[in-house]
Structure 1
Amino acid sequence: MPVLVKKILRISELATEYSVSAIWKLSKYEERVLMEALQVGAFQKLLLLIQVGCSDETKEKATELLKLLNPYRPGLECIDSLDFKDIKRCE
């Protein structure tokens, strides 16, 4: 899970789409996956992904993941600011 979350918005658009898709598929079968994803910063990355832009299919999966992750946020959320240092703002 840490590797999948780390690849979101870091390698390429295709790597981001594959990572979101893999997390989405894994979370369908195991609640533990959601908790582990939260602990490595998935919630913030998915929020940023939706704001920065991505394909419609990836946006739908990211939105669904955010809905699944939200109930577990208060106790498990972790933010690694290094993952966001290279993100550029659109003007």
Structure 2
Amino acid sequence: MARDNALSMPVLVKKILRVSDLATDFSVSILWKLCKNGEVEHGGYVVFEALQVGAFQKLLLLLQVGCAEKTKEEASEVLKMLNLHRNEMECVDPMDNFKDLKRPF
């Protein structure tokens, strides 16, 4: 269900390093699960969506700042998945997370 919701990825990425350490851990864990399963089952569109909303930059910053060991492992795996597709898509500034997002009101 989370993979099919258009706002799941932007909200998850936005919560990294914003709310609390626990929220960051949960966000990275969910992001890892979505990217891992989405890359295999759905042709990688979840990975492209994560790149669009600035997940690459946020995860790099998270690793530089420091986090729990499990979160560090999951963030590293997500970065590896994102890095494979980074050249195919332009990484955007995290401040522009919602710029091209089409949301029904």
TM-score (norm 1): 0.85
| 1:64 pairs with 2:84 | no
Ranges of 4+ aligned residues in structure 1 off by more than 3 Å: none
Contact preservation (8 Å) 2:58, 2:94: no
Unaligned residue ranges in structure 2 (runs of 5+):
1-8, 39-43, 98-105
Q: How many residues align?
A: 83
Letter of the aligned partner of 1:77 in structure 2? Answer: C
Unaligned residue ranges in structure 1 (runs of 5+):
84-91
1:42-81 to structure 2, matched below 5 A, reads: 42-74=55-87, 75-81=89-95
Sequence identity (%):
60
Contact preservation (8 Å) 1:24, 1:65: yes
RMSD (CA atoms): 1.6
**Following the alignment from structure 2 to structure 1, what is the Cα–Cα distance between the partners of residues 56 and 15?**
14
**Following the alignment from structure 2 to structure 1, what is the Cα–Cα distance between the partners of residues 71 and 82?**
16
Q: Deviations over 1:40-87 (max 9, x none)?
A: 00000000000100000000000011000002112231112489xxxx
Q: Could you say which structure has the larger radius of gyration?
A: 2
**Following the alignment from structure 2 to structure 1, what is the Cα–Cα distance between the partners of residues 29 and 94?**
22
TM-score (norm 2): 0.74
